[in-house]
Amino acid sequence: MQVIVENVNKIYQIETEALIVLAEVNFKIEAGDFLVITGPSGAGKTTILNLLGTLDEPSGGRILYDGVEAGSLSPNQIADFRREHIGFVFQFYNLIPQLSAQENVMLPLLPTMKHLDFDLEERAAALLAQVGLDGKGNKYPYQLSGGEQQRVAIARALVNTPSMILADEPTGNLDAEIGEQILHILQDINREQGVTIVLVTHNEGFTHYGTRVLRIDKTKLNTVR
């Protein structure tokens, strides 16, 4: 999937104050890119990722997905689009504590389970094995380390065979070494399965994972490479 971000603005209105976070931002994401977006805390990284993930709408401009503008779709169509094409990974994993690892991985597709042409339990087990958690499907989040919980979250992000995974500071809560393991998993997914990855991080030390790097600086996204 190709994503085109065209003249995008994002302004938060807080009482009488307007906070301009993004102004006239333009960039493209090609299928198979590993795009790293850096910038200091508060620069707008989560904002841009939420826009790319159709979780939020631009204040101006538009975002096209293979030529289709998200803003032209109905809320139901956007929800379908997101479920079919996008996987999310967050800093704090966002696993459901009452569900096992395997159930957490299955969750995004549970609403459509009847219509699937494959066995969802089998796919979840295979994805857990892919991220190095073979045999841990019955564990609950509290029984897993932070790094293991993030692996579950990556397996969950893959369950819908997404075109693009959006990762918001996925190593922000992990020790450096565990964080590198998580980034290697994302790199393998990108290289071996061709899934587009967009990683946002304040950590400049992670830019080498990117095939392309952008930096947010004062409402602009500048190309680093």
43 binds, among ligand ADP, Mg ion, none (CB under 5 to 8 A by kind): ligand ADP
Cα–Cα distance for residue pair 136/115, rounded to 1 Å: 27
Pick 128 or 166: Cβ nearer Mg ion = 166
Residues in the interface with Mg ion (CB under 5 A) total 2
Pick 133 or 216: Cβ nearer Mg ion = 216
Pick 108 or 170: Cβ nearer Mg ion = 170
According to the binding rule CB under 6 A, does residue 82 interact with ligand ADP?
no
Pick 47 or 150: Cβ nearer ligand ADP = 47
Site residues for ligand ADP, window 136-175 (CB under 6 A)? none
47 binds, among Mg ion, ligand ADP, none (CB under 5 to 8 A by kind): ligand ADP
Site residues for Mg ion, window 40-99 (CB under 5 A)? 45-46
Chain contacts with ligand ADP (rule: CB under 6 A): 12, 14, 19, 21, 39, 41-47
Chain contacts with Mg ion (rule: CB under 5 A): 45-46
